[in-house]
Chain A
Amino acid sequence: MRAFGYTVARDPAEAVRLAATTPGSTFVAGGTDLLNLMRDGAETHDHLVDVNRLDLGGITVGSGALRMGGAARMRQVAEHPGVRREFPMLSEALLASASPQIRTMASIGGNLLQRTRCGYFRDAASPCAKRVPGSGCPAITGQNRGHAILGGSEHCIATHPSDLAVALTALDATVRLLGPGGERAVPIAGFYLLPGSTPDRETAMRPGELITRVDVPRTALAGQSRYLKLRDRATFEFAVVSVAAALRTRGNVVRDVRLAFGGVGTRPWRDTRVEAALRGRPLTPQAIDEAGRILVRDAKPYEGNRFKVELVQRALVSVLGELGGLR
């Protein structure tokens, strides 16, 4: 790790100004990902602007939306009674993330911007097109159990590791940003980018922008949601496959459904065709199977992750079955 400078910002405007005027700078919140990346040499920064003192920690459940400050802690959001009641999948996704210690330190903004766990990305001595554009992607022919079957390109097949982002993707959240150019809001559907030929670009954020808030519309659907996470040990691990699902039925018929998937896509994965295949139809095992097949229609599996094609469909059956009372 290289020596770096460090400044504590007092308010969001100052944070943005400091970041814009200090070359080689970036924000640090809990530091639970950033410092590891810097230690491993996967990222280098000359200066860190600390955003922990900013007044961005609030969590409110208003009539129209849940508002989470960019510096709210994962643990605070997960334990918030309004979130647990009205947005169960959000709370579940957070509680299934990392460990209590990390959740206490880590922020919502940092969580959304954490980097992939691809081992080649985190090994500074390895080629990796996401870290060093143009250096190639050794995962495609190498160790790729943790990698994506959807949304990959010949340049990168890394998954986005955030569980929270999967839930937010299902719930149509909006990310609010403050940058040198002012404030703006980006719908989550457009927030994460596909790798294409620029896997180093992961989000629609512009240089120097700060995540000030994340808003989640409050809907009846969000109240009937679940987050199912499958992994190789009981806890403290990233998803092998996950599903964020919200479902409303009338009788047996699907009135509305939202689905997003983790562990399978190069970004938190949502495919509205899957939802469309279910909406307005009776929720039957056949209907779910069909929806699952649509999800993996364009899947491109590799040697180590072929099983995800099957596993993600089964996860879908499981979570919808549970929400829809099929078992």
Chain B
Amino acid sequence: MSGLVGQGVARVDGRAKVTGAARYAADQEVPGVLHGALVMSTIARGEVLEIDRRAALARPGVVAVHTHADMPRLNLPNFPYNRPFIPMQDTRVHHHGQPVAYVVAQTLEQAQEAAGLVKVRYRAEDPVARMADVLDEAFLPDDFRDRPNEYSRGDAAAALGQAAVRVDRTYSSPMQHHNPIEPHTTTAVWEDDGTLILYESTQGVVFARNTVQIAFGMPEGSVRVVSPYLGGGFGAKGPTYPHTLLTAAAARLCGRPVKLVLTRAQMYTSNGHRAEYRHHLRLGATRQGALTAVVSTSTAQVTRVDENVYNGGDSTVRLYACPNVHVRQLGVRLDLPTSSYMRSPETTAHFGLETAMDELSYELGIDPVELRIRNHTEVDQQPDPPVPYADKRLLECYRAAAEAFGWARRSPRPGTTRDGDEYVGWGMATETHTHTVIPSRARLTIGPDGRATLRAATQEIGTGTYTVLTQIVCEGLGMPLDQVTTLLGDTAYPDASLSAGSSTMPSVAAPAAEAAAKARNAVIALAVADPRSPLHGVPAEEVVARDGRLSAGGDRVDTYRAVMTRHGRSVEVTGDKRNSTPGHSFGAVFLEVRIQPRLGRLRVTRVVTAHDLGRVLNHRTARGQVIGGVMWGLGFALMEHTMVDPATARVVNPNLSTYLVPVCADAPSVEALFVDRPEPDAELAGIRGFGETPGTGVPAAIGNAIYHAIGRRLRDVPFTQDKLL
């Protein structure tokens, strides 16, 4: 064992990324490529009456202007296609910013100019844009992806009625957008044999391939999706979206490759969002702080044509020990695009739960950490009967983070800690998120030169997948880092996990490790069977692989390179082991805010986290994930807000100068601790998904710290200065 797994190995693709050598989807140079531009609906509800293409077609370089009239009819795929319709199949407009025409031109500038010249006449109906206006029409939507929107155990209503102490509050968050820095992009290339290559910025090449195959009625294996790097996704590139299908269709129509890059503004209506959300939460507890009832009714924006709820309230059901729970996830139909999973979707509901727990702690006069400890559970209560967690170390997280933060020094009374003209507040929250596991395979090849290459059709979303898989393979083979290459993001490789739902590592780590072990054994078998090897005749299990050398003690030493050179051919193996199950990662976040209430100024100055994610595969990338999560949590709490015009249902701030996300100057210091329990006997046991856990508690922790600082309880994000005055 070279012990590489766990170390804070620097990114193996870091140099390529900072030097520009890394080729992102839109960087792929495709000879003869044409450029696409979308014409988007300017109404939110109604019908296209007429599209005048003449001015656009008359411009130089314009090859085609497609509309619903000539777009090929496509099959509507199910999830992970994230729309209940395919645009440009008929005249119906379901939301503003829906593609109604597709321009193809020789250059990007020509395409964009022509798109501006397409004139569309509509019959417009009045849209409903504001949830507040139609709350009384909330309904219980159908199950989505086999998940019911109602859940119940015990008798929550009765328990709430009898509870000694109650909290009954409503929490809310607005529409938000993912805003990865790299826009969505697709380049579609049809080959002479009728197959299709898509250079796509996607969190799931396999998902995208399957979706496109269904839409075009193509046989399996006839579409190849390539996505070697992503400039972020945050869920926006998990499902497949209309622009991908439309680009493939446009390329087929004109018989040339077509490239489309969405504009930033188009990304506010094309790729889902976090739905506007209201959360009515009622907690009942004993005077000692034991939860006796949780009654949760959430309302999320859905559309007139689908009712998918993406903001599941998992933590409300599972996080704390409580015998009586009733959760209902309602929807309200608005004339907006379909929402989607966005950056730890469970944060949406978790913000309410963790704020309500803080409110309960003040009702009871129990420290917020102590209250959570009293409600800690070692069993997953959702299944019936409940299932014990294999190894949940949340209590250690509370302890470690509280100590590093200095929580014991906190004066519990709100509004009592001052520093000059600033009020100082300390708040905390539990962090948790579900992770999924997706069946995955990985292929490992050791060439005649002794170098190893891992191939898997998962993605590098920016979190360090290349690095961590390389570490795993190196450790399994006993090879130095520079001898192993990992290739991802191409459906030419074995099918592997989506990079979403915190699933990449729990899904792909085990197949990669398995492949490495198999390959190591295969090479050792070659060596001990080869009379030219110093290891000839040694029992295979006595050979130890390390740093590229295979040794059995003394001078009985061979190397991967020597064995493979003599062998003269490659060794190729595949791993498909599944040794994680879907589950949860846990943690705690403690943070400090400083507020000048006179001016409504607030800064988050200090954050300490502790997480239990099973085995930490790379401390550096795990810490990066925590910092990223904290920053997005800050955005959720303090500024992110997609504004929709109430009359037209158009997004009013579809750009990064008025849709605010945190900048470096907003960044607090972050101390990230890990309860890291490597289990050396079981090579890769104990791996859990971690992508989405950090940050889930941050919005509530900030609100809780604000309350502690100035005694004002905020329940409606973003907490902008007007709410702090």
Q: Given contacts A1-B113, A311-B725, A314-B725, is CB(A117)–CB(B657) below 8 Å?
A: yes
Name which residue of chain A comes closest to B666, CB basis: A234
Would A232 and B116 count as touching, CB distance under 8 A?
A: no
Q: Does B158 contact A (CB under 8 A)?
A: no
CB < 8 Å neighbour of B600 from A236, A237, A311:
A311
Closest-CB distance, A130 to chain B (whole angstroms):
15
Would A233 and B638 count as touching, CB distance under 8 A?
A: yes
Q: Given contacts A233-B639, A234-B603, A310-B725, is CB(A146)–CB(B658) below 8 Å?
A: yes
Would A126 and B660 count as touching, CB distance under 8 A?
A: no
Would B646 and A234 count as touching, CB distance under 8 A?
A: no
Name which residue of chain B comes closest to A234, CB basis: B665
**Cβ of B721: which chain A residues have Cβ within 8 Å of it?**
230, 232, 240, 307, 311
9-residue interface stretch from A137-145, A172-180, A195-203:
A137-145
Would B647 and A311 count as touching, CB distance under 8 A?
A: no
Q: Does B653 contact A (CB under 8 A)?
A: yes
Q: Does A235 contact B (CB under 8 A)?
A: yes
Q: Does A40 contact B (CB under 8 A)?
A: yes
Closest-CB distance, A235 to chain B (whole angstroms):
4
Cα distance, A153 to B391, chains bound together (Å): 64
Would B113 and A2 count as touching, CB distance under 8 A?
A: yes
**Cβ of A40: which chain B residues have Cβ within 8 Å of it?**
265
Would A142 and B109 count as touching, CB distance under 8 A?
A: no
Closest-CB distance, A46 to chain B (whole angstroms):
13
Would B653 and A235 count as touching, CB distance under 8 A?
A: no
Cα distance, A249 to B509, chains bound together (Å): 70
Produce 1/0 per residue, B210-223, CB < 8 A to A. 00000000000000
- How many A-B contacts are there with CB distance less than 8 Å? 92
**Cβ of B113: which chain A residues have Cβ within 8 Å of it?**
1-3
Q: Does B662 contact A (CB under 8 A)?
A: yes
**Cβ of B652: which chain A residues have Cβ within 8 Å of it?**
119-120, 123, 142-143
**Cβ of A315: which chain B residues have Cβ within 8 Å of it?**
599
**Cβ of B718: which chain A residues have Cβ within 8 Å of it?**
232
- CB within 8 Å of A: which of B10-24? none
Would B421 and A119 count as touching, CB distance under 8 A?
A: no
Q: Does A41 contact B (CB under 8 A)?
A: yes
Would B598 and A317 count as touching, CB distance under 8 A?
A: yes
Cα distance, A232 to B600, chains bound together (Å): 10
**Cβ of A310: which chain B residues have Cβ within 8 Å of it?**
725
Q: Does B663 contact A (CB under 8 A)?
A: yes
Name which residue of chain A comes closest to B41, CB basis: A125
Q: Given contacts A230-B600, A230-B721, A232-B660, is CB(A142)–CB(B665) below 8 Å?
A: no
Q: Does A327 contact B (CB under 8 A)?
A: yes
Name which residue of chain A comes closest to B42, CB basis: A125
Would B639 and A311 count as touching, CB distance under 8 A?
A: no
**Cβ of A327: which chain B residues have Cβ within 8 Å of it?**
421
Would A143 and B643 count as touching, CB distance under 8 A?
A: yes
CB < 8 Å neighbour of A237 from B645, B648, B660:
B660
Name which residue of chain A comes closest to B97, CB basis: A125
Closest-CB distance, B106 to chain A (whole angstroms):
13
Closest-CB distance, B720 to chain A (whole angstroms):
5
Closest-CB distance, B640 to chain A (whole angstroms):
10
CB < 8 Å neighbour of B665 from A125, A126, A235, A317:
A235
**Cβ of A240: which chain B residues have Cβ within 8 Å of it?**
721
CB < 8 Å neighbour of B601 from A123, A146, A230:
A230
Would B722 and A307 count as touching, CB distance under 8 A?
A: yes
Would A232 and B663 count as touching, CB distance under 8 A?
A: no
Would A138 and B647 count as touching, CB distance under 8 A?
A: yes
Would B116 and A1 count as touching, CB distance under 8 A?
A: yes
- CB within 8 Å of B: which of A1-24? 1-3
Would B109 and A119 count as touching, CB distance under 8 A?
A: no
Name which residue of chain B comes closest to A122, CB basis: B655
Size class of the contact patch on chain B? 35 or more
Would B645 and A138 count as touching, CB distance under 8 A?
A: yes
- CB within 8 Å of A: which of B554-595? none
Would B645 and A143 count as touching, CB distance under 8 A?
A: yes
Q: Does A224 contact B (CB under 8 A)?
A: no
**Cβ of A1: which chain B residues have Cβ within 8 Å of it?**
109, 112-113, 116
Cα distance, A311 to B652, chains bound together (Å): 24
- CB within 8 Å of B: which of A230-248? 230, 232-238, 240
Cα distance, A236 to B421, chains bound together (Å): 24
Would A236 and B650 count as touching, CB distance under 8 A?
A: no
Would B648 and A126 count as touching, CB distance under 8 A?
A: yes
Closest-CB distance, A18 to chain B (whole angstroms):
23
Q: Does A284 contact B (CB under 8 A)?
A: no
Name which residue of chain B comes closest to A98, CB basis: B657
**Cβ of B646: which chain A residues have Cβ within 8 Å of it?**
141-143
Cα distance, A145 to B639, chains bound together (Å): 13
**Cβ of B643: which chain A residues have Cβ within 8 Å of it?**
119, 143, 145
Scoring B109, B603, B648 by chain A CB atoms within 10 A of each residue's CB, the highest score goes to: B648
**Cβ of B658: which chain A residues have Cβ within 8 Å of it?**
117, 119, 146
Would B663 and A236 count as touching, CB distance under 8 A?
A: yes
Q: Given contacts A311-B600, A318-B599, is CB(A234)–CB(B663) below 8 Å?
A: yes
Would B647 and A141 count as touching, CB distance under 8 A?
A: yes
Would A233 and B662 count as touching, CB distance under 8 A?
A: yes
**Cβ of B644: which chain A residues have Cβ within 8 Å of it?**
143
Produce 1/0 per residue, A215-238, CB < 8 A to B. 000000000000000101111111
- CB within 8 Å of A: which of B637-685? 638-639, 643-648, 650, 652-655, 657-658, 660, 662-663, 665-666
- CB within 8 Å of B: which of A264-319? 307, 310-311, 314-315, 317-318
Closest-CB distance, A204 to chain B (whole angstroms):
27
Cα distance, A30 to B614, chains bound together (Å): 52
- CB within 8 Å of A: which of B172-227? none
Cα distance, A120 to B651, chains bound together (Å): 9
Closest-CB distance, A137 to chain B (whole angstroms):
12
Closest-CB distance, A145 to chain B (whole angstroms):
8
Produce 1/0 per residue, B111-141, CB < 8 A to A. 0110010000000000000000000000000
Would B638 and A232 count as touching, CB distance under 8 A?
A: yes
Would B116 and A307 count as touching, CB distance under 8 A?
A: no
Cα distance, A123 to B264, chains bound together (Å): 13
**Cβ of A120: which chain B residues have Cβ within 8 Å of it?**
645, 652
**Cβ of A314: which chain B residues have Cβ within 8 Å of it?**
598-599, 725
Would A138 and B648 count as touching, CB distance under 8 A?
A: yes
Given contacts A119-B654, A233-B666, A235-B663, 11 further A-B contacts (CB under 8 A): A117-B657, A120-B645, A126-B648, A143-B643, A143-B646, A232-B720, A234-B603, A234-B665, A234-B666, A318-B599, A327-B421
- Closest CB pairs A-B (n = 3): A307-B722, A119-B652, A234-B665
Q: List 22 A-B contacts (CB under 8 A).
A: A3-B113, A119-B653, A119-B654, A119-B658, A120-B652, A123-B650, A125-B42, A126-B648, A142-B645, A145-B643, A146-B658, A232-B660, A232-B718, A232-B720, A233-B638, A233-B663, A235-B665, A240-B721, A311-B600, A311-B721, A314-B725, A327-B421
Q: Tell me the A residues contacting B by CB distance below 8 Å.
A: 1-3, 40-41, 117, 119-120, 122-123, 125-126, 138, 141-143, 145-146, 230, 232-238, 240, 307, 310-311, 314-315, 317-318, 327
Q: Tell me the B residues contacting A by CB distance below 8 Å.
A: 42, 109, 112-113, 116, 265, 421, 598-601, 603, 638-639, 643-648, 650, 652-655, 657-658, 660, 662-663, 665-666, 718, 720-722, 725
